[in-house]
Amino acid sequence: MFKKIKNVHFIGIGGIGISAIAKMFLLEGKIISGSDMSNSKIIEELRSAGAKIKIGHSEKNLPKELDLVIYTIAITDENPELKEAKRRGIKCITYPQALHEISKEKYTIAISGTHGKTTTTAMIAKIMIDAGLDPTVIVGSLLQSADRCGLHADKTQNNFQTNFIAGKSKYLVVEACEYRRSFLNIEPDITVITNIDNDHLDYYKDIKDIQSAFGEFTEKVPERGYIVCDEKDKLVTQAVNNAKAKIVFSNQFTGNLKLKIPGEHNIKNAQKALAVANILKISPSTSLRALNEFNGTWRRFEFKGETDCRTLVYDDYGHHPTEIKATLKGAREFFGNKKIVAVFQPHLFSRTKLLLNDFAQSFKDADEIILAPIYPAREAFDQTISSDILAEKIREHNRPGYQNNHPALTKAGKGNSCFGTPTFSSLIKEEIKPSENQILKSPPILRRSTESARGGGVYVFNDFFEIEKYLKENLKKDDVLITIGAGDVYKIGESLLN
């Protein structure tokens, strides 16, 4: 379908998946234009490669010469560019439909699952590249440091990050998203299911509905193909009952794994990557070496740097309770008794509301929790849910036996910040007159010194500026700061490092 196409316009071109197709088309010599609501590192990279991109959506963004429009499923039929393209009779397809056209021409390895699919996709890609299989890769993040293999899988080109690798072999490694059953557009030869959990409940009715979608996806794998999953994950094994392909259980693959990235969840991701490598007849020694050298991906427990006062700064894309628990548990195992400060930006009003109780119980391995306002993404404002409500729910789950430990009420709570120590009188002023200073939107949570709740407090702030101010006054040497969320919360850590 795409061979005769010359001019392509992307609506939502900055998306982590759709931008990979834009990169692919640029490498093929196509003329690329696009639009998005805000600028980003990905958009700047596309511009440098020759794409003409506008910020904001308008029918005027469509070029005169145009053969095809590809758009993200996050936009509605009322988008002015989509409406204008249809009026002009230009063919319009979604990003998942574009993946269908690409995958049907390749031997496709599709990695699906509620959690861990990005990391698992990147692990499989690295193994295959190191084994010389030269795959094309579309991943929902950016490959990191030594794993940045360049647009042509050339390991010498490691000076930038990329979510797309243009291989020359028959293989396609692609991350398969379940939102709105998007992955049903992909034509897989090997399918990996990392796990199944409650998510995207603005679309799915319940967990059975989610299982049914994964069941449909596995039924697309032909009899000669393979399905990789964990035998002990009952939600997954129930979903693959009607599959005709051979099922390979990943938990039988162990080997001498010594991963650089922490957490039991990443061991499970690596086992699935080993299972795929075994199917492709890649030697265990090559697979294990690749996994043990794997540095992770952008925004997946990514080490951002160390502040001048030696606070370690990490960032993680986790936006579901299960992901947050796994990230913080892994961090606790990795850092031991170091103080862990989690800055969480909830993603979507609907997800925060529907999984409120689960979110409230997800931070037990953090010593302190800071909540930013909810990141709405594609959703309209919903006044029935907020970060204040989440903070109160955390309080309900952790109230018994707590002592007041709000840092604005005690000198010991503040300590000597490596960014500078505020005066005690200013702290009291902030506590007594929050309406003037707009620092705290909810009262302090109480602390209990037990393993079930390590935290020194949960605090809600109005914006990133206030969060940065608080962190500068409180972070100390050897503390660990982890920004968590699928929005733009990573900017807080980057600002502190700058």
Question: In this structure, are strands 446-447 and 403-404 parallel, antiparallel, or unpaired?
Answer: antiparallel
Range list of β-strands (E), 323-456? 340-344, 368-371, 403-404, 446-447
Q: What is the DSSP letter of 422?
A: P
Residue 117 designated active-site: yes
How far apart (Å, rounded) are the C-alpha atoms in residues 391 and 119?
A: 30
With residue 129 as reference, give the H or E element that holds it.
helix 117-130
CB contact at 8 A, 287 and 307:
no
CB contact at 8 A, 389 and 460:
no
Q: Which of 117, 268, 304, 325 is catalytic?
A: 117
Among 256, 208, 251, smallest CA distance to 228 is for 251
Residue 118 designated active-site: yes
Residue 81 designated active-site: no
3-state helix, strand, coil in the chain (%, to 5): 35, 20, 45
CB contact at 8 A, 237 and 203:
no
Helix (H, G, I), strand (E, B) or coil at 178: coil
Which residue bears the tokens 């992909």?
Answer: 186
Q: Which of 72, 94, 114, 118 is catalytic?
A: 118
How far apart (Å, rounded) are the C-alpha atoms in residues 312 and 175?
A: 30
N residues, the chain: 498
How many angstroms separate the Cα of 360 from the Cα of each of 40, 415, 455?
31, 27, 13
How many CB atoms lie under 10 A from the CB of residue 371? Answer: 26
Among 84, 159, 363, smallest CA distance to 149 is for 159
Q: Which of 45, 81, 175, 368 is catalytic?
A: 175
How far apart (Å, rounded) are the C-alpha atoms in residues 93 and 157?
A: 33
Which residues are catalytically annotated?
117-118, 175
